[in-house]
Amino acid sequence: MENPPVIIIGMHRSGTSMVIKMLEKLGLFVGKQKDLNHEALFFQKINDWIMHQCGTRWDNPTLIRYLLNNDDIRKLSKDYISFIMKTPHAISYLGLKGYIRYRTPANLPIPWGWKDPRNTFTLPIWIDLFPDSKVIHIYRHGVDVANSLKVRQDKVLQEEKAIYNKRKPFYFLLPKRSGFTDTVRCTSMEGGFSLWEEYMQEAKKNVNNLQNRAIEIKYEDFLDQPEGNLKTLAQFCNLNADESRISEIAHQINRERAYAYRASKKLKTFADSVISRLSENGYYE
């Protein structure tokens, strides 16, 4: 394939949104319709479908191994996705004009790709479809990731409490359809941290399998040297970006987000309690 896709993997809250926004500014096409996390809705829905088959989701992703180990279902899944990528469903990614001209993302003559943390686990199927894919793995300190997830879920819970108290009388006739949180697992530091471990383990395995077609960037290193790391990623994605543009975009980064947990005594204590698990993933404090 002349322009194989660039697939961004990595745990939620690890800087993947930051990176893909920068790469988009440098010329990587990442879709017309995207959500607030800069994930292309077209590929997001396909990942939804893949995980739904396994009765799993982003916060309990390891069950996908049953699909990957079933040759018949895996081949059928590949065939279906290959077909759906050539249908009008792809308009959400290509845009109407792009679909009329190219018919499928695979025909794009420019660097293209997408970001979705769940790519970390669905990647083998995408590699079945695009054997020459390039993969970028962004990873961040597990305590910062777990805390970011917990803070977000604490906010969701407070919002849901307010809605529940307001609407409670209506549930007399119409039962509540949704729960009180997006993910119970990530309402605790241990839950979020153990999920980070699962994503790290899977991502590292994928990167090792792909060898020079994959690159890993530590979030904290990226913040420390944004210009050099962004230049490396631009070259990896075959983007024709001049150095002045790379420098301009790199200087927009907030470097203070690296190792944010150090500012909290409570989070530092948690980090000390999981130091052996952190060290297994390249972090030693």
Per-residue pLDDT, 108: 97
pLDDT one-digit tens code per residue, 135-189: 999 999 999 999 999 999 999 999 999 999 999 999 999 999 889 998 999 999 9
Which residues, at least 6 apart from 242, have a Cβ–Cβ distance to it below 8 Å? none
pLDDT value at 243 more than 90? yes
Average pLDDT on 270-283 reads 97
Closest CA to 117 of 94, 84, 140, 147: 140
pTM of the model: 0.95
Per-residue pLDDT, 1: 62
Domains of the chain in sequence order = 6-279 (3.40.50)
Residue 256: pLDDT band (50, 70, 90) is confident
Q: ∠ at Cα 23 (22, 29), nearest 5°?
A: 130
